[in-house]
Chain A
Amino acid sequence: MKADPAGVLTGAHYLDGDFACGEGAMAAGCRFVAGYPITPSTEVVERIARRFPLMGGTFIQMEDELASMAAVVGASWTGSKAMTVTSGPGFSLMMENIGLAAMMETPCVVVDVQRGGPSTGLPTMVGQGDVMQARWGSHGDYEVIALTPQSPQEAFDLTIDAFNLAERYRVPVMFLMDECVGHMTERVVIPEPGAIEVVPRALTAKPPAEFEPYRIDGGTIPEFARAGDGYRFHTTGLTHDERGYPVMSAGCQESCVRRLLDKIQGDADRIVRFEEEGTDDADVVVVAYGITARVARLAIEQARRQGVKVGFLRLIVLWPFPEKRIRELAGSVGAFVVPEINYGQIVLEVERCAGGRCDVVSVTHGGGAVHDPAKITGEILAAGAVAA
């Protein structure tokens, strides 16, 4: 369906990434937000707190991030599109109910504007150290989807995609911004509502007597009933059967959890998204995401001027990881160079997928600033010299 015009601020704006993310959420139809203030993410909810009363949305500042995430899961069961927003320390607290959302198959969006960690770390300075936490942070096996914008415009566009993916797959979607993208101000063009495609919450058409909340009739995703429509369904964070009733057995665990994985892994080709350039005859491919993708672009230009054949793979969807493409490229390139503002997280995935068929170079940065492009250029040149 098309976006509800009430949430769409059509026009060209000069917005920072946080505001753009908030606008994206409202355009996507988000009408419930619960959050707890934390730099550098707070502007997202500040924007929403101002605009929600004008469009029938409810924002509540909860007592902490445990509560914020729990409230988001609860609200989503009313059919409302729901979101919370935080940064590293709050993201850690949200892991508990991100697991609940995954287990109950609750669509929702969790925005993490990353700053330097661990712990309280660097409150107002950039980091990209939460990318593995976004994937693995809650206990047990589950799958999520994660997106990483590189600009305020993408913060707007991809937030809408995040909501649409959450609805389609009934998963919590992690929206991994970083402090630079969150606080950088650029031109953001918000289209007409009629040009914004949003996925509404699909409600079951079955009568209550025939409905079971986790029954699969073909496909991998169960039909949804919202609270208050007479279905009188039950859902739990415990391992459950198709009726949503707890069953404590290895057999039920296998069918319940396996499907949580399959519904994402089995459709990864359709979810994975990246931007690729100059990889056809590349000796070196740079893999980067978020703000680091923009820094890397400069490094790539410098390296090309010095004659290295270097391609670029910018990750847009971080999870599920573009395994297939990395595997293919690993057979033709000499090296991957992976700059990121952490001590080497996504590079582990690149290494895994490369499987020893080419070199993988990690270009780390502890956070607090972006890479000096010259450092990335240096690594590209070194890798290029080996490959050539």
Chain B
Amino acid sequence: MSVAKVGTRTDFPAEPPEHPTAPYLRMERIPHVWCPGCGIGTVVQCYATALGRSGVDLDKASVVSGIGCSGRAAGYLKLDGFHTTHGRAIPFATGLKLGRPELQVTVFSGDGDLTGIGGNHFIHAARRNMDLLVILINNFIYGMTGGQNAPTTPLSARSSTMPFGNFEPPFNVPHLAASSGAAYVARWTCLHIRRLTWTLEEAIQRRGFRLVEVIAPCPTLYSRLNKLGTGLDGMSFYHDNAVIRHGADTRELAIDFQKGIVCGKFVDEEKPTFSELMDEHYGRVLGEKYVPMPASGGWQHG
């Protein structure tokens, strides 16, 4: 019979290995502004992982946010980052993309920002099939300003400006995108980390207007105003109520208060982007005379 050796090992590394997401984040800005249990950070993590896996040149990747809690994401990602004005992330990103066509441009913002004040830009960018990946955090509320009603607040849910419950019908965001012409439309919740990451990785590699809606808990406001418990309670709600139905008819994706949430990939179409249509059209009409903007942009060297 042998006796096991006893003793204490002291060979700790001087520095722990870097967090796998650290290369994609502005670590000097951590801790971030988000509340405990908030879903936004999870989505940033999934996006960063997807970026890494996708193999895109990070030097050519830009992220643009509007204003809101979700809109702070551009400030933490270690890419060229633009924190713009409320609702204008998509048109700002449109200028960025058209100004230097080789850029990979992602818009990361909130439901209020993108479908309320920025709703017109959202549908027009989808209509044009502008080459943008749009990550929309849907927490059913205006978080940053204190829990006011959003165009996504489910019927009967409470918000600070609908203290007796919301009576305005909300947008079905995937349907709004799909019916406006988006090339790629998907929805997940913050619970679906692996699926969301996989979807984002795929979406990064597609082109055209790509919408990924992520249902995220806002424990501080939405959950509190509606007595839905903590962020963890939000996650168990998703666990029990999210159903995956790839290819579902987007008309059937409306979200009712505390009812089932249909997730999956609904649209994945190969179709020409704004820039491809422009190049193809001018090439045909103007022939040799057409000079497209160089991929590296219209910047003139001094």
Residues of A within 8 A of B (CB): 1, 4, 6, 29, 31-32, 34, 53-58, 60, 62-64, 66-68, 70-82, 96-97, 99-100, 198, 200-202, 226-238, 245-246
Contact = CB atoms under 8 A, between A and B. Distances in A.
Give the 8 A-B residue pairs with the shortest CB-CB distance, closest first.
A74-B95, A31-B298, A200-B302, A79-B299, A78-B99, A71-B95, A75-B99, A75-B95
18 contacts: A53-B286, A56-B294, A66-B121, A67-B88, A70-B92, A73-B95, A77-B80, A77-B96, A78-B99, A79-B100, A227-B80, A227-B96, A227-B100, A228-B60, A236-B82, A238-B83, A246-B75, A246-B83
Contact of A54 (B62, B95, B291, B299): B291
Given A63-B124, A78-B99, A56 B59 contact: no
Nearest to B127: A63
B96 A78 contact: yes
A1 B298 contact: no
Contact of B84 (A54, A68, A70, A232): A70
A76 B98 CA distance: 10
A32 B293 CA distance: 9
Given A67-B94, A236-B83, A237-B83, 16 more contacts: A29-B300, A60-B98, A62-B124, A63-B124, A66-B121, A70-B92, A70-B121, A78-B99, A82-B95, A100-B84, A202-B302, A226-B100, A226-B297, A227-B100, A228-B296, A236-B82
Given A32-B298, A71-B98, A234-B26, A64 B289 contact: no
A74 B85 contact: no
A245 B289 contact: no
Contacts of A72: 95
Interface in B16-68: 26, 29, 58-60, 62, 64
B75 A236 contact: yes
Contact of B83 (A227, A230, A234): A234
Contacts of B294: 56
Contacts of B100: 78-80, 226-228
B299 to A, nearest CB: 3
B85 A96 contact: yes
A245 to B, nearest CB: 6
Interface in B255-280: 274, 278
Given A57-B293, A100-B85, A74 B74 contact: no
**Which of A29, A74, A237: most chain B CB closer than 10 A?**
A74
**Which of B78, B92, B94: most chain A CB closer than 10 A?**
B92
Interface string B164-195: 00000000000000000000000000000000
B299 A78 contact: yes
B120 interface: yes
A232 B83 contact: no
B227 interface: no
Contacts of B79: 232
A226 B294 CA distance: 15
Contact of A227 (B75, B103, B286): B103
Contacts of B93: 74
A58 B292 CA distance: 8
A241 to B, nearest CB: 11
B272 to A, nearest CB: 16
A227 B59 CA distance: 8
B233 interface: no
B116 interface: no
A80 B92 contact: no
Contact of A53 (B29, B94, B282): B282
Contacts of A82: 95, 99
Given A29-B300, A63-B120, A70-B91, A75 B78 contact: no
